[in-house]
Amino acid sequence: MNLTLLMPLGAAAALIFAYVRAKKVLRESEGNELMQKIAASIRQGANAYLKRQYSGVAKFFAVVFVLMLALSFMGQMEIFVPFAFVTGGFFSALSGYIGMKIATSSNARTAFAASQSLNSGLKVAFSAGSVMGFTVVGLGLLDTSLWFFFLKYIVYAGLPEAEQAMKISALMLTFGMGASMMALFARVGGGIFTKAADVGADLVGKVEAGIPEDDPRNPAVIADNVGDNVGDVAGMGADLYESYAGARLSASALAVSAGFGMVGMAVPMALAAIGIFASIIGTFFVKTGEDASQRSLLGSLRKGTYIASAIVAVASYFLIQYAFGGQQTGLFIAILVGLLAGNLIGYFTEYYTSDTYKPTQKLAESSETGAATIIISGLSLGMMSTAVPVVIIGIAVMASFACSGGIQNFEAGLFGIGLSAVGMLSTLGITLATDAYGPVADNAGGIAEMSGMEESVRDRTDALDSLGNTTAATGKGFAIGSAALTALALVAAYVDQCKAIKPDLVLDLSITNPSVLVGLFVGSVLPFVFAAMTMSSVGKAAMSIVTEVRRQFREIRGLMEGTAEPDYHTCVDLCTKSAQQEILAPSLMAIIVPLVVGFTLGVNGVTGMLMGATASGFILAIMMSNSGGAWDNAKKYIESGHLGGKGSDNHKAAVVGDTVGDPFKDTSGPSINILIKLLSTVSIVFAALIVNFSLNL
């Protein structure tokens, strides 16, 4: 059997499965009229945001496309690259769009289902999550399949297979940039939107006006709920589409560099397809009895992912045996290493951020001496939590390199590292499903609150939401771990690419070479600058919401008494505008810096820069995500009645921590993962330009 055929099969299976699940969700009832109305408002706001974002992004893509086209005509870029750039961006955007569509159609349905039973609520929310998960992987493989078959059977049809593999893999490596660019826009824009709305709604509504969270009188409440969808759903979808693409494409390119030809190139794709089938099987195990406790719900979700992982583990053994005729069993171990490393990082993320473990409980206790000490402790917790993932990734890199025969064949070892990233992401379909259902449950809670449903419904959606926090921690582990491995694979592939463009290029990648070193410093600082930019963007956007909400409370008569309706639309609009304005600078930075470094410090400098950004970005992303997550859960821990409970001084201190954590965990932290890959893909796309025109080579 031709392994490449697995690609379109996997893509088709994922998309059909997503479609079937979507149909099933949409058959559920959306509840009463009020619920439908609220859901429609959220949907409308999310649509408006995405419409605006996509039209803004389209302009940006158009400009870059034209520039790329010009470079192609000047012979500095393959002619297909600009088009692939656009398709990558398109499919990434589409993943986010579909995810958002289904999420905004499932929130009221989840709330209604939760009014019947906890399990019904879980089912609807999880189904919505699955639609998103399988859309992402399905579209990812679809894009790759289309290009692969077009290149193989039309463009390079006449060439011998080995040469085909070389050409196709090199070309497809450049295809990641569109997806990464789109992901950055979606994550940063969505992150700014959601946190500006959240912080703005809380600061005026909860703190100043003293009304509860998700109260319909709060003018920013719809914006807040829209934010969950555009940030945590659409943003995450685009983000993981990008991770998935980067991992597969870089692994394929490294396989060809290592001399494994067309078969090697097909293996990462086939592994991804196997992961899809395994994930589909896994989803059928997510079910529980009617009287399930929260622990057994979690067990049920975990069961699904573990079964999927087990299937991939077994099947990949046969895949490697089949592909390489029993020659490369080490590559199978590399896949296992990836799967294991992802799970371990996920476990430690949970350990550091869940209030069932000591670190977060101790963090909550540090609220006893006020806001300053909970901030210091939270930052310290986040910094400390970076050590274990670094060690895990370090061991994973060494192990997958060594067992793939890297000591004899350096390139084979690099392929092993790349394959281990693909292994880590192979079960993305189901891990993303368990991740994406969280925001749906969160939204359902908002609708339950706003439509005045019974207390018990809100309790159930809260239970689902809090379960979502736990699964999201695992999901983050996979996202962060795979980002590091993928970025490393991309850098290795970048170096190969440069050598392929100019075979007589002499590189000195030694870390003591000043060009590499200065590149390393510049790269290391980028995640910090990027985090600074995105955090201050959230601050600015939140300030504009605060001002608007205060204005409405002041000017709209009868708002507090509930006799007049607030103007939700303006808040949504303000968030949209701010998000659009603020994404430009960090995105431009990600394109311009690699070019400037390339022109001044050459390929050596760019390589140093990419490694520096990967190392410091990986660490900063973990720190920010974990500090933020721990503050959030410390606050919830206190709210659940510990240390004085809601309204106590401890709680007030914890709220400060949570607010600081908001941009940490939902804007800056997750975007850094995309940044480090975007820097790599930009460098790859413009490699010829640098190789031919750098001042320092």
Site for a copy of itself in 53-72 (CB under 8 A): none
Using rule CB under 8 A, residue 413 touches a copy of itself: yes
Q: How far is the CB of 481 from a copy of itself (least distance, A)?
A: 12
Give, as ranges, the residues between 234 and 293 that touch a copy of itself (CB under 8 A).
none
Considering the rule CB under 8 A, would residue 370 count as an interface residue with a copy of itself? yes
* Cα(537)–Cα(667) distance, integer angstroms: 10
Which of 384/560 has CB closer to a copy of itself?
A: 384
- Which tokens is 433 given? 């499903």
Query: For the residues of 405-427, what is the DSSP string, one character each?
Result: TTTT-HHHHHHHHHHHHHHHHTT
- Position among 408, 512, 557, 561 found at the interface with a copy of itself (CB under 8 A): 512
> C-alpha 303: how far from its chain's center?
23
491 binds a copy of itself (CB under 8 A): yes
Among 95-103, 109-117, 345-353, 541-549, which window interacts with a copy of itself (CB under 8 A)?
A: 541-549
The tokens 């289309």 sit on which residue? 146
Q: How far is CA 129 from CA 135, 301, 424, 440, in A?
A: 10, 12, 19, 8
Part in contact with a copy of itself (CB under 8 A); list of ranges 72-80, 291-299, 372-380, 446-454: 372-380
Among 34, 159, 509, 560, binds a copy of itself (CB under 8 A): 509
State the nearest-atom distance from the C-beta of 176 to a copy of itself, in Å.
19
Binding pattern to a copy of itself, positions 416-445, x when CB under 8 A?
-x----------------------------
Q: Which is nearer to a copy of itself, 315 or 516 (CB)?
A: 516
Q: Between residues 140 and 628, which has the closer beta carbon with respect to a copy of itself?
A: 628
Binding test (CB under 8 A) with a copy of itself, winner from 29, 536, 640, 692: 536
What is the nearest approach in angstroms of a copy of itself to the Cβ of residue 577? 20
Q: Please state, in angstroms and rounded to a whole number, the distance separating the CA atoms of residues 405 and 53.
A: 46
Vertex 480: Cα angle to 477 and 484 (nearest 5): 135
Encoded amino acid at 121, one letter: G
| Contacts to a copy of itself from residues 378-407, by CB under 8 A | 379-384, 386-387, 390-391, 393-394, 397-398, 401, 406
Residue 518 interacts with a copy of itself (CB under 8 A): yes or no: yes
Residue whose CB is less far from a copy of itself, 169 or 451: 169
Q: How far is CA 13 from CA 139, 234, 284, 309, 434, in A?
A: 11, 22, 15, 18, 19
Q: How far is the CB of 305 from a copy of itself (least distance, A)?
A: 27
Q: Please list, residue by residue across 189-215, b when 16 or more beta carbons sit within 10 angstroms of its beta carbon and e when fewer do.
A: bbbbbbbbbbbbbbbbbeeebebeebb
Question: Exactly one of 274, 424, 495, 634 binds a copy of itself (CB under 8 A); which one?
Answer: 495
**In the bound complex, what is the minimum distance in angstroms from residue 579's beta carbon to a copy of itself?**
17
Q: Is 521 a binder of a copy of itself (CB under 8 A)?
A: yes
Output the smallest distance, CB 222 to a copy of itself, in A.
22
Nearest residue to 175 (alpha-carbon basis) of 201, 150, 195, 212 = 150
Of 253 and 660, which has the nearer Cβ to a copy of itself? Answer: 660
Binding mask 628-667 for a copy of itself (x = CB under 8 A): ---------------------------xx--xx--x----
Asked if residues 473 and 349 have their Cβ atoms less than 8 Å apart, the reply is yes
**In this chain, which of 107, 144, 515, 552 binds a copy of itself, going by CB under 8 A?**
515
* Whole-number Å distance between alpha carbons of 689 and 695: 11
What is the Cα–Cα distance from 109 to 40, expressed in whole angstroms? 12
Identified binder of a copy of itself from the candidate list 100, 201, 546, 583, rule CB under 8 A: 546
- Residue matched to tokens 């109260």: 215
Residue 538 makes contact with a copy of itself by CB under 8 A: yes
What is the helix (H) or strand (E) element at residue 436, kind and residue range? helix 428-450
Q: Does 209 bind a copy of itself (CB under 8 A)?
A: no
Least distance CB 73 / a copy of itself (angstroms): 32
Distance, in Å, from the CA atom of 521 to the CA atom of 585, rounded to the nearest integer, reads 21
DSSP helix/strand/coil, 284: coil
Q: Considering only CA atoms, which of 639, 625, 621, 646 is closest in space to residue 355?
A: 639
The stretch near a copy of itself (CB under 8 A) out of 134-142, 155-163, 243-251, 365-373 is: 365-373
> Whole-number minimum distance, CB 160 to a copy of itself, in Å?
29
The reply on whether position 344 binds a copy of itself by CB under 8 A is: no
Q: Which is nearer to a copy of itself, 381 or 479 (CB)?
A: 381
Nearer to a copy of itself, 507 or 556 (CB): 507
Q: Does 612 engage in binding with a copy of itself (CB under 8 A)?
A: yes
- Tell me the C-alpha distance between 638 and 365, whole Å: 9
Candidate ranges 161-169, 236-244, 436-444, 511-519; the one touching a copy of itself (CB under 8 A): 511-519
91 close to 394: Cβ distance less than 8 angstroms: no
What is the enclosing helix (H) or strand (E) of 363?
A: helix 358-365
Q: Which residues in 466-485 contact a copy of itself (CB under 8 A)?
A: 484
CB neighbours of 476 closer than 8 A, spacing ≥ 6? 346, 349, 625, 629, 670
In the complex, minimum distance from the CB of residue 152 to a copy of itself, in angstroms, rounded to a whole number? 29
Please report the sign of the dihedral spanned by the C-alpha atoms of residue 444, residue 449, residue 454, residue 456: positive
Report the alpha-carbon distance of residue 554 to residue 569 in Å, rounded: 17
Q: Which of 638, 90, 692, 679 is nearest to 364 (CA)?
A: 638
Q: Which is nearer to a copy of itself, 246 or 602 (CB)?
A: 602
| 487 touching a copy of itself, by CB under 8 A | no
- Kindly state the smallest distance separating residue 250's Cβ from a copy of itself, in Å: 13
The least distance separating a copy of itself from the CB of residue 175, rounded to whole angstroms, comes to 22
Options 372, 585, 588, 592; binder of a copy of itself; rule CB under 8 A: 372
As measured in angstroms, the least distance from the Cβ of 638 to a copy of itself is: 16
Check residue 414 for interaction with a copy of itself (CB under 8 A).
yes
Q: How far apart are CA 490 and CA 510, in angstroms?
A: 18
Q: How far is the CB of 410 from a copy of itself (least distance, A)?
A: 8
Question: How far from 561 is each of 211, 350, 551, 565, 566, CA to CA, in Å?
Answer: 11, 42, 16, 10, 11
